[in-house]
Amino acid sequence: MNKKQSISTLTALAVATTMAFGANSTGLKDNMPFKLGVAVSNAQINDIANGRKTQALDLIKRNFNQVVAENAMKDQPLQPIEGHFDFDAADAFVDWSNKNGMKTMGHVLLWHSQLPGWFTRGDNGELCSREKLLDRMENHIKTVVTHFKGRVAGWDVVNEAVEGDGSYRRSDFYKILGEEFIDYAFKFAHEADPDCELWYNDYGNESAKKNETIASIVRRLKSKGMRIDGVGLQTHIRIDSPSIESYENAINLFVAEGVKVAITEMDISVLPSAWGLTAEVSTKVEYREKLNPWPDGNLPPEVDKQLGERYAEWFRMFRRHAASIDRVTVWGLSDSSSWLNDFPVPGRTDYPLLVTRDMKLKPWTKSL
Ligand code: G3I
């Protein structure tokens, strides 16, 4: 074959490949040794439910092969009033993700936030009885897990039950049932769907003390012969902290307990911190201009470069542990929809994700 013939053969092959797989079939996900996930916002789910075709949904389909609802499958939206379940938005989302072949995770069965008041309290506002809470937990968890059976691969069964100092969070669940509320939640979920993956999920895994307590939960459940598939490390981090090593230690610790790990809610804030590292949603700090240095949506190139390098370093670490990492999920598609724009200072402009405000993949994502 001469040079001209071989070029035309190559061109024909390229055209055939493009026709077979679609012009937009390759994206970030195709370069990863684990699933690459994204949290889908309420606004995006609303577009899905209304059959709208948007740039955001196209970007998700092309670049990610795992999804989770950022808010739509929490207790408050699913059961706002006791006994009244509303699955419409979540159903539209799950049907769409299944149709598009993405691993769909459920977030979350038990969390102290976005929890309707009736769940843990009586009419008088006081904590409900142990029996009442167990009854409500069983009903919520079994109804929800059964509803999505076969359509979601797994659930965050319990979210954020441990504090940074390694103690149990004094949530209503804990106050009423003690640490065993976690065991009951895993039990109810497993009874509803024995095939479903069951995960514990938390932030702040730079804390060795927190990780020790999480590891002890894994051991406790396993010693009772119960199912727990993995520990989710949310990974809400900053451009300058914590160290990668602290998270690598966490991964090694959990893997040594015989479970998988997942990076479940990654984002990297570039804004100045006045409060330390936390994802505790009740934290609030008053707005000050110096806390919002780039309000017009343009991140200086040197800061964007630093952000890209930080993402790349973390992904290199994730790749080293690819055999134990189920998925790496970012907490939102584009900078404009990140929860960090309003946390813990409302009205800021942060740049924590992989897609810009004008819906372009950041150029450094190629190096992840
Ligand atoms: O749904 C109501 C809506 O009815 C109301 O009109 C509107 C007015 O404020 O609020 C809506 O609820 C908001 C909800 O997001 C949906 O948009 C809540 O106020 C707001 O607090 C809530 O924030 C979410 C937060 O969890 C609390 O649930 C963030 O978007 C979400 O990114 C964040 O995600 C959490 C993970 O679930 C767990 N790990 C930490 C992570 C970050 O905090």
Q: Which H or E element spans position 246?
A: helix 244-256
User: Which tens digits make up the pLDDT trace of 136-149?
Assistant: 999 999 999 999 99
In whole angstroms, what is the distance from residue 160 CA to residue 38 CA?
20
Is 160 an annotated catalytic residue? yes
Residue 265 annotated as catalytic? yes
Q: What is the pLDDT of residues 245-258, one digit of tens each?
A: 999 999 999 999 99
Residue to mutate, 86, 108, 114, 278, ligand 1, most ligand atoms under 8 Å from C-beta: 114
CB 350 within 8 A of CB 341: yes
Q: Select the more confidently predicted residue: 198 or 272.
A: 198
pTM, to two decimals: 0.92
So what's the pLDDT on residue 286?
Answer: 80
In this structure, are residues 245 and 211 in contact, taking their beta carbons and an 8 Å threshold? no
- In the reported structure, the alpha carbon of residue 116 is separated from the centroid of ligand 1 by a whole-number distance in angstroms of 13
Bond before 242 cis per omega within 30 degrees: yes
The tens digit of pLDDT for each residue in 54-76 reads: 999 999 999 999 999 999 999 99
Burial (CB count within 10 angstroms: exposed 0-12, middle 13-18, buried 19+), residue 215: middle
**How far away, in angstroms, is 310 Cα from ligand 1 center?**
27
Rounded to the nearest 5 degrees, what angle is found at the Cα of 58, between the Cα atoms of 57 and 63?
100
Does 75 sit in the ligand 1 pocket, CB within 6 Å? Answer: no
Q: Which atom, in ligand 1's list, is nearest to the CA of 159? A: 38
**Predicted local distance difference test score (pLDDT) of residue 345:** 87
Q: Tell me which residue has its CA closest to atom 32 in ligand 1.
A: 339
Share of the chain above pLDDT 90, in %: 86
The CB of 156 under 6 Å from ligand 1? The reply is no
Confidence check: pLDDT of 11 > 50: no
Nearest CA to ligand 1 atom 34: 70
User: What is the rounded average pLDDT of the residues 125-136?
Assistant: 98
Q: Left (φ > 0), alpha (ψ -120 to 50) or beta: where does 330 sit? A: beta
Flag whether pLDDT at 276 surpasses 70: no
Measuring from atom 36 of ligand 1, which residue has the nearest CA? Answer: 70
Could you read off the pLDDT of 182-230 as tens digits, one per residue? 999 999 999 999 999 999 999 999 999 999 999 999 999 999 999 999 9
Residue nearest atom 40 in ligand 1 by C-alpha distance: 279
